[in-house]
Chain A
Amino acid sequence: MKQLMKGNNALAEAAVRAGCRLFAGYPITPQSEILEYLSWRLPQAGGEFVQTESELAGINMIIGGAAAGQRVMTSSSGPGFSLKQEGISYLASIELPAVIVDVARFGIGLGDVTVGQGDYFQTTKGGGHGGYFIPVYAPSSIQENADFVVKAFETAEKYRTPVIVLSDASIGQMCGSVELPEQQYPKRDRFDWALGADGDRPPMGRKMTDRMYTDFAYEEYVPHICSRYNEMKENEQLWEEVQAEDAEVLLVSYGISSRICKEAVKIGRSLGLKLGLIRPMTVWPFPVKAFRKYNGKVKGYLAVEMIPIPQMIEDVYLAAHGAAPVYAMPTGREIASSEDIIENVKAILNGTKEVY
């Protein structure tokens, strides 16, 4: 049964239904509805809700709950999301499953509460210290806000990794219909690695700490971590294609910008332009498999993202592998318009748009 819900609330309800046992977070616009919704809903479902004194405490409570083997989540935006990066690096290092939601807002520093896509590098390139990669789902609708949270918990446990859901202010704040997921009841003691869980223990007990420096010789750690990342890259790429098969120009766009791109494809086709779209649904791993199908066939990729200085375009550039020119369409503080996209595509086709 479909329901009418706000994007942030749909995400929060989906987390409850995924069996989230602990949410710890702090208010910041435009993600506060997640916090507000879970403040009453999670205890109702038998979980723990904590409004922490800071984002630091929030992410660190999540580390504790993840170490205890339970489904745990935190969410934030902008500067609050930056504060969580040290903790995400720890989660990646200890190899703990957890879901971190970024309802992206605009700008650097305090920025603004309006929508933006400036957290691409921070989420996909290891926003904390030391060098790590973790899966990042990029919903573009209220339905995906719900679906990707469930998927994020599953992927997190499959690889024992933190996972980010990179939503944004407009998807979080808009209302629409959503089919909510089934309620799950994950068993408390289902992981034999978790602190306090049943099962055999090594003589020293279970230890969760930086594995690379203490549990392995570093030479053993390198192949371990490489094989994990390669496995995720190989298996977890998700993307949507819209009229890509015969396209001369392929738009590349995620999140809110990709919705406008879909409209632009429709308009472009009605004007006789062979226009298509690759929409990354995971921005890490970036869906390079999609590009392999079209490299050498298309006249160009146009990366459409809502930021003054483009970021995702660097992954498009790598995925194009020199086999197709890549063009930038950063839309700054404005959501892209179909008209501008069509103009850019025409410029690519008549050779007047500068290659990135």
Chain B
Amino acid sequence: MTKNIPALISGSNSFCPGCGHGIIIRLIAEVLDEMGIKQQDAICALAVGCACLLNNTLKVDRLGCPHGRAGAGASGIKRCRPDKLVFTYQGDGDAISIGFSETVYAAQRNEKITAIIVNNGVFGMTGGQASPTTLIGQKTATTVNGRTAEFNGMPVDIMDHLRPVPSAAYLARGSVHDAKSILKTKQYIRRAFETQISGSGYSCVEILSPCPTNWHMDPVTAADRIASEVIAAYPLGEIKTGGAAS
């Protein structure tokens, strides 16, 4: 058996054991390799939070954006360098809480970027506080008795907000909790990048990802939780294909 490392991945990352980020970043690197996209032809707008650790792992040009603003940062880059593949790499706190407006408006303006949103249901780097995607009943550092609709409001499904946007050309939700989902997610990332390159519109892939550290679970139990609880709230699959409505 040989160990193949994609050209744009450095040897190691600094994520916790069982975290999904390492898998997702590797998928991005594999897709870039397979599409023949070189280091100088891809630019990543990075979030604040665990997602920013992509900095140590993915070898493309990259900008660390203020918290929540990767959608706007990527838009600025793409408008100045329309010849490059430009994508964001954000967590759910970044893209769906503080950056909700930048995420939805990037789609609304038909920015030719790809948003990659890693949804693990918590603010990871700051210690596991509730995020917009925390499930009802889920205990976090700021929902110690579990999230309730009355007290915290219902979880936010970002695809509910992107789906109606006519210029959103490709939308999908994947997961990295098992091998089958990982392969599908890779396909979604590729289709999102192809959508951007074809110029047909905005694209976004949301990816469910385990956070064993802040879910207070071992990696296997955390992956199982996605299958047994999270997918029910955030169903997987392609949500919109076929390009932007004119």
Binding site for B on A (CB under 8 A): 21-22, 24, 48, 50, 52-54, 56-58, 60-70, 72, 86-87, 90, 94, 195-196, 198, 201, 203-210, 214
The listed residue (A21, A22, A204, A208) touching B63 by CB distance below 8 A is: A208
Binding site for A on B (CB under 8 A): 10, 39-41, 43, 45-46, 52, 55, 58-66, 69, 71-81, 83-84, 101-102, 105, 109
Q: State whether A53 touches B62 (Cβ < 8 A).
A: no
Q: State whether A196 touches B63 (Cβ < 8 A).
A: no
Q: State whether B63 touches A63 (Cβ < 8 A).
A: yes
Q: Which 8 A-B pairs have the closest CB atoms?
A: A64-B76, A209-B64, A61-B76, A60-B72, A60-B69, A68-B80, A64-B73, A64-B77
Q: State whether B102 touches A196 (Cβ < 8 A).
A: no
CB-CB < 8 A to B64: which residues of A? 94, 207-210
12 contacts between A and B (CB under 8 A): A22-B80, A48-B79, A50-B79, A53-B101, A63-B65, A63-B66, A64-B79, A65-B77, A94-B63, A205-B39, A206-B61, A209-B52
| Cα distance, A64 to B82, chains bound together (Å) | 12
The residue among B41, B45, B64, B76 with the most chain A CB atoms within 10 A of its own CB is B76
Q: State whether A68 touches B72 (Cβ < 8 A).
A: no
CB-CB < 8 A to A204: which residues of B? 10, 59
A sample of 14 more A-B contacts (CB under 8 A), given A58-B72, A65-B80, A68-B76, is: A50-B75, A53-B102, A54-B101, A56-B69, A57-B72, A60-B65, A60-B73, A61-B73, A64-B65, A64-B72, A67-B73, A94-B64, A201-B61, A203-B10
CB-CB < 8 A to B83: which residues of A? 196
CB-CB < 8 A to B65: which residues of A? 60, 63-64, 90
Residue in chain B with minimal CB distance to A203: B59
Residue in chain B with minimal CB distance to A206: B61
Q: State whether B62 touches A195 (Cβ < 8 A).
A: yes
> How far apart are A28's CB and chain B's nearest CB, in angstroms?
17
> How far apart are A157's CB and chain B's nearest CB, in angstroms?
15
Q: State whether A70 touches B80 (Cβ < 8 A).
A: yes
Answer whether A86 and B66 are a contact pair too, CB < 8 Å, given A195-B81, A196-B84: yes
CB-CB < 8 A to A58: which residues of B? 72
> Between A and B, how many residue pairs show CB distances below 8 Å?
131
Residue in chain A with minimal CB distance to B56: A204
The residue among A21, A63, A195, A209 with the most chain B CB atoms within 10 A of its own CB is A195
| Cα distance, A118 to B240, chains bound together (Å) | 50
The listed residue (A21, A56, A72, A196) touching B43 by CB distance below 8 A is: A196
> How far apart are A55's CB and chain B's nearest CB, in angstroms?
11
> How far apart are B35's CB and chain A's nearest CB, in angstroms?
17
CB-CB < 8 A to A57: which residues of B? 69, 71-72, 101-102, 105
The residue among A22, A24, A68, A90 with the most chain B CB atoms within 10 A of its own CB is A68
| Cα distance, A62 to B60, chains bound together (Å) | 20
Q: State whether B101 touches A63 (Cβ < 8 A).
A: no
Q: State whether B77 touches A205 (Cβ < 8 A).
A: no
The listed residue (B55, B59, B66, B76) touching A22 by CB distance below 8 A is: B76
| Cα distance, A66 to B63, chains bound together (Å) | 10
> How far apart are B68's CB and chain A's nearest CB, in angstroms?
8
Residue in chain B with minimal CB distance to A90: B66
The listed residue (B40, B46, B66) touching A198 by CB distance below 8 A is: B40
| Cα distance, A214 to B52, chains bound together (Å) | 12
| Cα distance, A58 to B73, chains bound together (Å) | 9
Q: State whether A48 touches B80 (Cβ < 8 A).
A: yes
> How far apart are B116's CB and chain A's nearest CB, in angstroms?
16
> How far apart are A193's CB and chain B's nearest CB, in angstroms?
10
| Cα distance, A64 to B111, chains bound together (Å) | 13
| Cα distance, A208 to B102, chains bound together (Å) | 20
Q: State whether B63 touches A64 (Cβ < 8 A).
A: yes
CB-CB < 8 A to A67: which residues of B? 63, 73, 76-77
CB-CB < 8 A to A207: which residues of B? 55, 61-62, 64
Answer whether A208 and B62 are a contact pair too, CB < 8 Å, given A22-B80, A61-B72: yes
| Cα distance, A67 to B109, chains bound together (Å) | 21
| Cα distance, A202 to B191, chains bound together (Å) | 29
CB-CB < 8 A to A206: which residues of B? 61-62
